[in-house]
Amino acid sequence: MFEWSLTPSFPMTVNGVALEYACHGPAPDQAPTIVMLHEGLGCVALWRDFPEKLSAQTGFGVLVFSRQGYGNSDPIRLPRRLDYQSSEPLEVLPHILKQAGIQRCILFGHSDGATMAAVYAGSIEDHRVRGVILMAPHFFAERMGLAEIERARDTFNTTDLSARMSKYHRDPEGAFRGWADVWLDPGFADWNVAEVIDYIRVPILAIQGHGDQYGTMAQLDEISERAYCPVDLVELDCKHSPHLEAPEETLAAAAEFCVRLERIEAAQVETA
């Protein structure tokens, strides 16, 4: 049972797992939908007010959800699979889009969520997906990013970070270990999913901060060098969370991209 609401009465269930979600703006039968996929330690609440503002700016509906192991969704059994960024979107996202009644959508992913959005768009020919927004995406591991995750692990082990994360995550230990332990696994050092870019056939908006502590502009270079579809690149003076650190510029770029795609599609329908 899916309820298009800011505060649904029940979580949605995907593959037997209860997932927290929230909806903003018009329902999928009234307007296109922006489906937002959060970062490695994100959840519904940690998007802050960005989804609400994005809905207001575009007139689109916005669906946000917490992946298993995050927010108030069901905990996940550890260790998490090393290929979770490739397997999870293919196993989970189709069920979410179906339950929500999505008709036309743009996938908007941040960090791990951006990778998942790219994997989905490059792996499944889903005509409901009209575009993808990739914010601080990862297609391969970078040494500086892994070093930052090592520092985050040290902080988690030696400070009250777990207690602070419990404000947003039902299982902060599982949320953190499920992210950090995968990235720092020796078998993950050569991880690379850049090939999915070759198969994306919808427009891409890629947003990256120059001060991103987890990834460099090499991630955007990979998109521009490999993509066969239209690509807009936006570079901002911020770190890993453009929607929080450069909110006005990020909102403007995302909203303009969404509205432009809708305008182009409407013009194509009129001339068909």
91 DSSP assignment: H
Q: Across the chain, where does the E strand assignment appear?
A: 12-14, 17-19, 21-24, 33-37, 61-65, 105-110, 129-135, 204-209, 231-236
- From first to last of its 272 residues, what are the pLDDT tens digits of the chain? 899 999 999 999 999 999 999 999 999 999 999 999 999 999 999 999 999 999 999 999 999 999 999 999 999 999 999 999 999 999 999 999 999 999 999 999 999 999 999 999 999 999 999 999 999 999 999 999 999 999 999 999 999 999 999 999 999 999 999 999 999 999 998 999 999 999 999 999 999 999 999 999 999 999 999 999 999 999 999 999 999 999 999 999 999 999 999 998 888 756 54
Look up the CATH number of the domain holding residue 176.
Answer: 3.40.50.1820
Residue 75: both structure tokens together: 């905990």
Report yes or no on 75 lying in a domain.
yes
Q: Per the domain annotation, does 168 fall within a domain?
A: yes
For the four alpha carbons of 10, 16, 17 and 23, in that order, the dihedral sign comes to negative
> Would you say residue 5 lies in a domain?
no
Q: Which domain holds residue 250?
A: 12-263
218 in a structural domain: yes
The structure's pTM equals: 0.97
Angle between helices 112-123 and 84-100 (to 10 degrees): 70
Answer whether residue 6 is part of any domain.
Answer: no
The count of domains in the chain is: 1
The Cα-based distances of 259 to 24, 58, 242, 251, 265 in angstroms read: 17, 6, 20, 12, 10
Residue 26: inside a domain: yes
Question: Could you tell me if residue 1 is inside a domain?
Answer: no
Of residues 208, 194, 89, 209, the one with CA closest to residue 141: 194
Kindly state whether residue 42 falls inside one of the protein's structural domains.
Answer: yes
